[in-house]
Amino acid sequence: MELKSITIIEQFYEVLKDKKDEIAVVYENESFSWIDIDLISDRIAINLIDDNIGKDDHVALWSYNTPAWICCYLAIAKIGAVSVLINPKIVTHEAKYLMEFGDVDYICYGDNLKGNPSEIITKTYPCKSIGRESFHSLSKLAPLSESDRIVLQSREDQAESHDMASMLFTSGSTSKPKGILLSNYQLINIAREAVETMQWTKNDKFCLALPLFHSFGLSTGLLASLIHGGSLFLNSVCKTKSIMEVIDNNQCTVLNAVPSQFLAIIHHNERENYSLNSLNSGIIAGSTVYQQDYLKIIENLGILHLMQSYGQTEASPSITFPKYEDSLELRSKTVGKKISNIQLRIVSMESGKQLAANEPGKIEISGYNVMHGYYKDDVESNKVLSKDGWLQTGDIGYLDREGNLYVVGRIKELIIRSGENISPKEIEEIILLNEYVHQVKVFGIPMSIVQEEIVACVECPTGKTSVEEIRELIKEHLADYKMPKYIIIYKKFPHNASFKIDVRTMKEDLLLKIQEERKNDF
């Protein structure tokens, strides 16, 4: 794919030119055409200019997935400001930290937030509501006056493709979030790569099951739509039942989601009440996808072109995709080949030397999609970025002779017990052989003498398995030193706002369990 020097708004105007009156967004039985989105985002843009928001100023976008979120994001891009994307499920003190850390100049906030905007909004943070009532008022206003149009056009003309477009935050599931600034050029070209690989067209209907504040949702949801021109069907809360309803009611053809969302659908007790046969393609990414889970999802949902992909926010976010014509067998085991215009290598964890095919080591990438560094954090940036631009992804993997990437696990998740390196993924794959287990998460916790102890958290909604059965299964397949010290069975795993398994909450649960055990020892 040839890279384009284009801004998000220039790409928006390309699709607007061809599809002006066609449906762009559907939300709660209300439809918005591309021209509707353009006019409403114009009004928000002028409001921001009137409130003295300048080029490169930081505007926080703090809302669930709504048409207002989309219009506000485009409005911020139109005036050359930087959108700072805030998770709507964080509490007030977390939001305040991100606003201060992200040097926010202005806040656009929606309805039903977990945090309280009124406790944050001060003279330091002027604001604008983009809740339901405010948005509906904006949608009824007349188009811009000629003078406002000239003002807005002047701001749009100042934008360049390498200007920073958005600040996103790493999930912060185990530590404080880190800010990542990404440019128009990076975001649009990565979205173009996804659209080209997935062969999406204007005829596709997308069920947006991912939060737009997250890089996966932003890239394969909103930004991809500016390229393929299909329709987005929004889902504010992204709950399993509502996702199935959106797909069934609208005959959606594409579903992009994290593995836990796909698994929640196929295991839902009302799954048979919904027809999901319209689904034809999608991307499954964001966390580990096990081969048996991938095949179960394909069998249950019949998504012929469900593709694994590997990426991270630091890479805008995509790094690999399979080929559209790859076999089901290959797609079930690998995350595909590196995307065009970037480099990927596997290096030794000890020596740093590049490794040959089928030798596992650290995954590193370089190219246009790599961030320039964590915002205001040179220390962390230097840990992952080399002087010549290579990004250490933090993952372990290997390439086969055809260049397909196999991800083995996270370096930080590697468990070191009594000097032995233990892969959580290896243990997880064995536990998943139990037919009643839906999901597994294995991690280490610090422990004196042995360095780390192994913890296995197991999701079993039916309750038809036991800790003893899990232990017997592991004993049958793995060496004794890989046996978890603690096995905790959940009916349902906790998840964070990005629908990934919430390891932090699991560790807190375990700490309580250990404390109770110690009390009972006395």
Query: What is the tens place of the pLDDT at every residue in 324-378?
Result: 999 999 999 999 999 999 999 999 999 999 999 999 999 999 999 999 999 999 9
Q: Is 463 exposed, middle or buried (0-12, 13-18, 19+ CB in 10 A)?
A: exposed
Average pLDDT, the chain: 94
* Residues with Cβ within 8 Å of residue 119, at least 6 apart in sequence: 92, 96
pLDDT band at 79 (very low <50, low <70, confident <90, very high): very high
pLDDT band at 520 (very low <50, low <70, confident <90, very high): low
What would the pLDDT profile of 82-103 be if each residue is shown by its tens digit? 999 999 998 898 899 999 999 9
Q: Region 487-503: what's the mean pLDDT?
A: 92
How many CA atoms lie less than 13 Å away from 350 in the CB half-sphere? 1
pTM score of the predicted model: 0.90
* Residues with Cβ within 8 Å of residue 27, at least 6 apart in sequence: 66, 67, 233, 234, 236
Contact status, residue 400 vs residue 439, Cβ threshold 8 Å: no
- Alpha helices in 312-387, H assignment, sequence order: 328-333, 378-384
Q: What is the third-level CATH fold of 337-402?
A: Luciferase; domain 3 (2.30.38)
* Calpha distance 452→460 (Å, rounded): 25
* Calpha distance 285→303 (Å, rounded): 15
pLDDT band at 125 (very low <50, low <70, confident <90, very high): confident
pLDDT band at 513 (very low <50, low <70, confident <90, very high): confident
- Work out the end-to-end distance of the chain between its first and last CA atoms, rounded to an integer number of angstroms: 66
Q: What is the pLDDT of residue 175?
A: 61
Q: What is the pLDDT of residue 501?
A: 92
**Token representation of residue 155:** 């701001």
What would the pLDDT profile of 225-253 be if each residue is shown by its tens digit? 999 999 999 987 789 999 999 999 999 99
Q: What is the pLDDT of residue 518?
A: 64
**Token representation of residue 486:** 């603690």
* Calpha distance 230→31 (Å, rounded): 13
CA distances from 414 to 163, 418, 443, 488 (A): 37, 13, 8, 19
Q: What is the pLDDT of residue 39?
A: 97
The CATH homologous superfamily to which domain 415-520 belongs is ANL, C-terminal domain (3.30.300.30)
Which stretch of 294-308, 331-345, 410-424 has the lowest confidence by average pLDDT?
A: 410-424
Contact status, residue 462 vs residue 436, Cβ threshold 8 Å: yes
Residue spans of beta strands (DSSP E) within 278-419:
281-284, 305-308, 310-311, 318-321, 337-338, 342-347, 361-367, 391-399, 405-410, 415-417
pLDDT band at 40 (very low <50, low <70, confident <90, very high): very high
* Calpha distance 390→42 (Å, rounded): 39
Quick check: helix, strand or coil at residue 325?
Answer: coil
Q: How many helices (H) and strands (E) does the chain have?
A: 17, 25
Q: What is the DSSP string of 11-59?
A: HHHHHHHHHTTSEEEEETTEEEEHHHHHHHHHHHHHHHHHTT--TT-EE
Q: What is the pLDDT of residue 173?
A: 43
Phi, psi at 368, each rounded to 5°: -65, -25
CA distances from 371 to 159, 167, 212, 263 (A): 19, 11, 19, 31
Q: Region 490-512: what's the mean pLDDT?
A: 90
Q: What is the pLDDT of residue 174?
A: 45
Query: Are the folds of 8-230 and 337-402 the same?
Result: no
Length, in residues, of the chain: 522
Q: Region 285-289: what's the mean pLDDT?
A: 91
- Check whether 172 has a pLDDT greater than 80: no
pLDDT band at 519 (very low <50, low <70, confident <90, very high): low
Q: What is the pLDDT of residue 521?
A: 56
User: Domains of the chain: which residue ranges?
Assistant: 8-230, 337-402, 415-520
> Has domain 8-230 been given CATH number 3.40.50.920?
no
Q: What angle do CA 375, 501, 394 make, to 5 degrees?
A: 45
What would the pLDDT profile of 380-398 be if each residue is shown by its tens digit? 999 999 999 999 999 999 9
Q: What is the pLDDT of residue 4?
A: 98
**Token representation of residue 259:** 């593995």
Contact status, residue 53 vs residue 79, Cβ threshold 8 Å: yes
Helix, strand, coil percent content, the chain, rounded in steps of 5: 35, 25, 40
User: What single letter denotes the amino acid at residue 419?
Assistant: G
Q: What is the pLDDT of residue 84?
A: 98
